[in-house]
Structure 1
């Protein structure tokens, strides 16, 4: 009887192995962009121990590997400088797969929640400013977009569903709007193909994009899922990392564009000061590409309920600049919408992310990429003098009084302040009735329209000079 079951097992195993077909991971497909001037990887599945041969239209020699005992295979190959030509990749085993219309260029992963997910065609009753014009002018075979299908799982998946497309008026309405405007500016400046990988899902907390190992070891208070994914919200910790990030770890990328934070406001915003830098570091560890560029968007103004301190998430994002190497933050204090959590001004978002990449990653140092960042203050007579970083040519409000600047005196009550620019690239803040000022705050509330900029037109981040307790109603910043 034991011999009988052994024979049945062997027959079943051999049958399943015989059915195994050559497959390539779905992230590698027609129309894709490969990261130029780097060693890239491609992987997939085949029969156990099957010999796999990779050949390309640009490499003279074939590359041969064998699938492991589980049928998994992976090939490393070099990609030269972008040449604006269409290339092919052929993978041969028992079957043959050919990837066509492949370009070399710059590959950026776009991830986060709804403001990165928001498409160029807009949401229902929520437009993209200039979106229709952008769609009409979007024909460009050198801008490519890959959509990772939104799925969830409580365990790490080997594959995801992905689709690469060329940019044109039929495809671009479904592209990430912020990502598209980023790619448009990047292509215009660099003149090489730009590939966007869109792994986004609206309404998601940062923990959904993190793996089980880091959450269980560093954040034990985070409840990890124990039931099947179909019974869980897409906002559940690990559930999107498993399906939308883990399957593409190893894809050679230039860097990450991230827009997220809104869904962490109602949880524990204080924890965001630590967990956001940890997520960046962890993704870099998993990718094993060193400290690749990670550029993110500071969340926009919105009229959140008073008990939800969105300004703490913005401050956590600001402080991340000091905690993690090779990061940058796009500020958008000027383009939020008080009654719309999905601001229409995604062109400004995408272009400011592009300015960060062009300056910090590609060496175009005369492109200003960061707005004024609060550095220090000094009380001089009845004024507070603010000093900023990132203002090589000074400050401006483009000819109108600065809004959302508040000052407090001995009574710790904040009132609207007057301001004056100095010749030393500083800002004087004062109020005629406050003789001994103690603190200044700028855009330190949920909803606002900021108008303090560097000369390059990049807005200042919200800031405060004090560290007073947030639950003290006496020193709250007025909310308009």
Structure 2
């Protein structure tokens, strides 16, 4: 089926389905969809008839029967190894057929603007190498579902969108990270890949959480159930209701997530809310602890006169939000964080190098989810410190070939403090045991911080070029 025909057929399909007003499916169940392979995947919808509904899957000829309850129905079908195209025929007296279905790997891509950012970029904010990526994008084994941006006062059953083949017109408007992540998986796994994008820029984690998951936060105001669109995309639960709830239960392998900038004012709350959100999503999907890989927010915002006073006041909290994301990896089972301390760009919250970001998410997925253990995914991780005189030795895990980026012999990204909690720029050198740090102003060091600023370019990497996260060895109070 050619792309042009496929896109033209979708509206006619839904028009026909609606005019019969019998079996109605959410938008995510439509022509061209990808179903998770080797799984029992849920399919659901509504019906205005009490007749038994039969779903027949072409890959095995098996019929599944389900009776609507109060107009709703749901069943599960067994999927084979990757392949297609297949069909699903749905009968309730009349017949509807879903066509051009592929079986492969399915992932959800969610978060705020850095996940939403399409390959075409934002105004005056391009994506690196976008023209070349777009030009070479045509591949009918990669399918993209771009969910509509909606916020609502109660959980909805549908988020509008359509499945499209990867092709220049489709990928131009699609998440740069989501598409290139799918492309890398497809190239390595040699199976169809589907990505469901539900992302919206400038959004709080609270908006992506369900009302139930926010019960532990009495200070968070839940909107009244007026069954209407909300005026503010950051109203708590609004995006969960309108963009996540409609796809909850759709068969997936995992999720990729890029969000946190909007919560930089509350790192301590974020460390609680973010894991609670993931736990709640997993409970609702009811397919176990599916893989959840996320991006640590990039360095951004240098001190310039162009910045607002509010932005400048929030800068000291940015590294603490990154720290919350780092700690979350130890709280959330089957998770992983892509560190991008070397990818940021001064004065923009949207680093243009989205390929490196998606590569690091893909490394996590390929190694931890798909078993490609030869693919490295982890940069140096702080392990311990010891002091001798005015010097501090820092040791790291995943530190094979520890080095400063570009072959530098020293780094200016370290700071040292004594018990007075005053930090001074430090000299840092690499030895066979780790990194030795010292500052002439600090005779008795007790704490070290690395790249612990809003804007910095991380330079500590291992032999694979994977960067260390910003970190601190102290636990001093986060500034108000």
1:104-123 → structure 2 map (5 Å cutoff): 104-123=103-122
Q: 1:362 matched to which residue of 2?
A: 370
How far apart, in 2, do the equivalents of 1:350 and 1:109 lie?
13
Moved more, 48-57 or 104-113: 48-57
Q: 1:147 matched to which residue of 2?
A: 146
Moved more, 302-311 or 183-192: 302-311
Deviation at 1:58, TM superposition (A): 0.6
How far apart, in 1, do the equivalents of 2:400 and 2:258 lie?
27
Q: 1:218 matched to which residue of 2?
A: 216
1:302-313 → structure 2 map (5 Å cutoff): 302-303=300-301, 304-308=311-315, 309-313=317-321
**CA RMSD, Structure 1 to Structure 2 (Å):** 1.8
- Do the aligned residues in 2 keep the contact of 1:205 with 1:264 (CA within 8 Å)? yes
- SS at 2:44's partner residue? strand
Structure 2 residue aligned with 1:277, among 275, 278, 282? 275
- Do the aligned residues in 2 keep the contact of 1:22 with 1:96 (CA within 8 Å)? no
Deviations 1:374-421 (A, max 9, x none): 121111232111112222454443302324211224553322222222
Q: 1:478 matched to which residue of 2?
A: none
How far apart, in 2, do the equivalents of 1:307 and 1:294 lie?
28
Q: 2:130 matched to which residue of 1?
A: 131
Deviations 1:70-96 (A, max 9, x none): 22111211111113x311111111322
The TM-score with structure 2 as length reference comes to 0.90
Structure 2 residue aligned with 1:387, among 388, 392, 395? 395
How far apart, in 2, do the equivalents of 1:393 and 1:104 lie?
40
Structure 2 residue aligned with 1:291, among 289, 312, 323? 289
Deviations 1:262-302 (A, max 9, x none): 11123x32211111111111111111111111000001112
How far apart, in 1, do the equivalents of 2:404 and 2:279 lie?
35
Q: 1:6 matched to which residue of 2?
A: none
Q: 1:8 matched to which residue of 2?
A: none
- SS at 1:152's partner residue? coil
Q: 1:4 matched to which residue of 2?
A: none
Q: 1:475 matched to which residue of 2?
A: none
Q: 1:12 matched to which residue of 2?
A: none
- Do the aligned residues in 1 keep the contact of 2:294 with 2:361 (CA within 8 Å)? yes
How far apart, in 2, do the equivalents of 1:158 and 1:469 lie?
43
1:189-204 → structure 2 map (5 Å cutoff): 189-204=188-203
- Do the aligned residues in 1 keep the contact of 2:412 with 2:428 (CA within 8 Å)? no
Q: 2:445 matched to which residue of 1?
A: 437
How far apart, in 2, do the equivalents of 1:275 and 1:265 lie?
13
How far apart, in 2, do the equivalents of 1:127 and 1:438 lie?
43
How far apart, in 1, do the equivalents of 2:353 and 2:412 lie?
20
- What are the ranges of 5 or more consecutive residues in structure 1 without an aligned counterpart? 1-17, 473-480
Q: Does 1:246 align with 2:283?
A: no
- SS at 1:171's partner residue? helix
Deviation at 1:48, TM superposition (A): 3.6
Deviation at 1:365, TM superposition (A): 1.4
- Do the aligned residues in 2 keep the contact of 1:135 with 1:172 (CA within 8 Å)? yes
- Do the aligned residues in 1 keep the contact of 2:320 with 2:478 (CA within 8 Å)? no
Q: 2:23 matched to which residue of 1?
A: 22
Larger-Rg structure: 1
- Do the aligned residues in 2 keep the contact of 1:403 with 1:451 (CA within 8 Å)? no
Q: 1:62 matched to which residue of 2?
A: 63
- SS at 2:238's partner residue? coil
1:32-111 → structure 2 map (5 Å cutoff): 32-68=33-69, 70-83=70-83, 85-111=84-110
How far apart, in 2, do the equivalents of 1:200 and 1:163 lie?
15
- SS at 2:429's partner residue? strand
How far apart, in 2, do the equivalents of 1:265 and 1:394 lie?
30
Task: Provide the aligned length of Structure 1 versus Structure 2.
Answer: 450
Structure 2 residue aligned with 1:407, among 412, 416, 426? 416
How far apart, in 2, do the equivalents of 1:20 and 1:135 lie?
39
Deviation at 1:19, TM superposition (A): 7.3
The TM-score with structure 1 as length reference comes to 0.90
- What are the ranges of 5 or more consecutive residues in structure 2 without an aligned counterpart? 1-18, 302-310
- SS at 2:312's partner residue? coil
Deviation at 1:160, TM superposition (A): 1.8
How far apart, in 2, do the equivalents of 1:93 and 1:71 lie?
13
- Do the aligned residues in 2 keep the contact of 1:48 with 1:72 (CA within 8 Å)? no
Deviation at 1:200, TM superposition (A): 0.5
Deviations 1:196-238 (A, max 9, x none): 00001111100101111121x2111101113754453011100
1:324-335 → structure 2 map (5 Å cutoff): 324-335=332-343
